Amino acid sequence: MVLCQGGEGDAAPAAGGQEPEVLPGGEDGPGAVQPCLCPAPGVEAAGAEERRACGCCSGTSWPFCCQAPGTKKKSACPGLGLFYTILSAFLFSLASLFLKKIEDIHSVEVSAFRCVFQMAFVLPGLIYYKTGFLGPKGKRIFLFFRGFLGSTAMVLLYYAYQVMPLADATVITFTSPVFTSLLAWIFLKEKYSLWDLLFTLFAITGVILIARPPFLFGSRVVGIEGSYSDHLKGTIAAIASTLSAASTIVILRKVGKSVHYFLSIWYYAVIGLIGCVITLFILNEWRLPHCGKDRVFLILIGLLGLGGQIFLTKALQIEKAGPVSIMKTMDVVFAFILQVLFLNHLPTWWTVGGALCVVASSSGTAIRKWRHSVKKAKQREV
């Protein structure tokens, strides 16, 4: 018998606070699989067991494993993981567009509906995998902060989408990989090189070009939605959302693969729902949408968010994290296109310049992490 471990070991942050919230990551979900026992070809039934890596069975128990007797290994479709990533980016962008279209509904209430959809999706998985609802005792405090910070990132991101241009908020969220590297260096003692510092400076430059503070760009700021005060609040909310999302990734790296992916999302949804309901009662903002169109948009936001998460997870299961992280920058492209087509808001050259800085920064960070993981994999083979 052979003990085979499936899936990719490394995952990169998914951007956008879409979980992603998600973004854009260090979660163990896509690469966290359960070991399976599979008969190894050429090994007799009464013989010894051999440990090897199997990247295609993805933790499926025998006899459904790819190495089961009499079964043929399915050939992977080239580029399928990248296609899933593009589809995920498109669904997340559509959800953001519908959020912009909603009228008179607070971002916290939208987040509460999103948490309800996630709970409905994750609950059957918890029951099927028998993970329980609390998790290991030593990991519950980390799961709590993962849920709190993750849901906070979602609320802040939704607020940013509502008060500032869609493309601007999306671009800012793509600084998440850069801040993740910085926080991992501070709290996990991971390596932080001069390249990482350069990418951080690029990301900060991009955010400054988007925010355009008056003390640098003068008092007459053009190309924003509404007042500059709202634009500044949205920028601060987007940055805080990105930092919160980066913190959740650092926490998940600390937890490792000892906690099932579904349990991590469960904490995110439950704590997020509780926090949103309490906040809505404090703000006295809880109300059902008066317009039937807004109710449809709320349902679509929940469904599209789940669909984006599913396709991003599938992408990370069959493709390396580096290419997925780079292709995830299509979020920015879709955000610009949807903003022009459906919101009639042309981005300024400042926004385009900021987007180029942030995309270059996040792509550079992803490529460096990818090369580092490939190098480690080759060293393990040797």
**Across 278-284, average pLDDT:** 86
How much is the pLDDT for 348?
82
Question: Is the per-residue pLDDT at 285 higher than 80?
Answer: no
Of 73, 81, 82, 69, the residue nearest 54 (C-alpha): 73
Residues 6 or more apart in contact with residue 49 via CB below 8 angstroms: 1, 2, 3
Instruction: Indicate the range of 86-100, 238-252, 311-325 predicted with least confidence.
Output: 311-325
Residue 288 burial (CB count, 10 A):
9
pLDDT(237) > 90:
yes
Average pLDDT over residues 338-355: 86
- Is the pLDDT at 109 greater than 50? The verdict is yes
- Environment class of 141 (CB within 10 Å of its CB; exposed 0-12, middle 13-18, buried 19+): exposed
Look at 138-142, 269-273, 284-288 and tell me which has the smallest mean pLDDT.
Answer: 284-288
Region 92-114: mean pLDDT is 86
pLDDT for residue 236: 92
Q: Is a pLDDT exceeding 50 seen at residue 276?
A: yes
Most confident segment among 117-121, 335-339, 359-363: 335-339
Confidence tier at 239 by pLDDT (50, 70, 90)? very high
Q: Which of 196, 153, 205 is nearest to 178 (CA)?
A: 196
More confident residue, 307 or 369: 307
pLDDT(27) > 60: no
Instruction: Give pLDDT tens digits for 163-180.
Output: 888 888 888 988 888 888
Greater confidence (17 vs 107) lies with 107
User: Which residue did the predictor score with more confidence, 75 or 288?
Assistant: 288
Cα 104 from Cα 302, distance rounded (Å): 18
Q: Which residues contact 151 (CB under 8 A, 6 or more apart)?
A: 111, 115, 268, 269, 271, 272, 275, 276
3-state secondary structure of 138: helix
d(CA 111, CA 265): 14
Is the pLDDT confidence value at 94 over 90?
yes
Sheet bearing 36-38, strands edge to edge:
36-38, 2-5, 50-53
> Would you state the pLDDT for residue 114?
86
Looking at the chain, the whole-number percentage of residues with pLDDT higher than 90 is 8
Of 302 and 45, the structure prediction assigns the larger pLDDT to 302
- Please name the residue ranges forming H helices in the chain: 80-101, 107-129, 140-163, 166-173, 176-187, 194-211, 214-217, 228-255, 261-283, 292-318, 321-327, 330-343, 349-381
Per-residue pLDDT averaged across 92-115, rounded?
86
What is the pLDDT, as a whole number, of residue 53?
A: 40
- The SS3 assignment for 360 reads helix
User: What would the pLDDT profile of 123-143 be if each residue is shown by its tens digit?
Assistant: 888 888 887 888 778 788 888
Would you say 86 and 39 are in contact if contact means Cβ atoms under 8 Å apart? no
Q: Which pLDDT belongs to residue 218?
A: 62
Percent of residues, the chain, with pLDDT higher than 70: 74
State the pLDDT at residue 78: 65
- What pLDDT, in 10s, does the model give residues 298-342? 888 888 888 888 888 788 777 776 677 778 888 888 999 998 898
Residue 307, burial from CB neighbour count under 10 angstroms (0-12, 13-18, 19+): middle
**Average pLDDT, rounded, for the chain:** 75
Residue from 64, 3, 263 nearest 147 by CA: 263
pLDDT at site 223: 64
Structure confidence by residue, pLDDT tens digits, 202-227: 888 988 888 887 666 766 666 676 67
The encoded tokens of residue 308 equal 């984006």
Check: pTM over 0.95? Answer yes or no: no
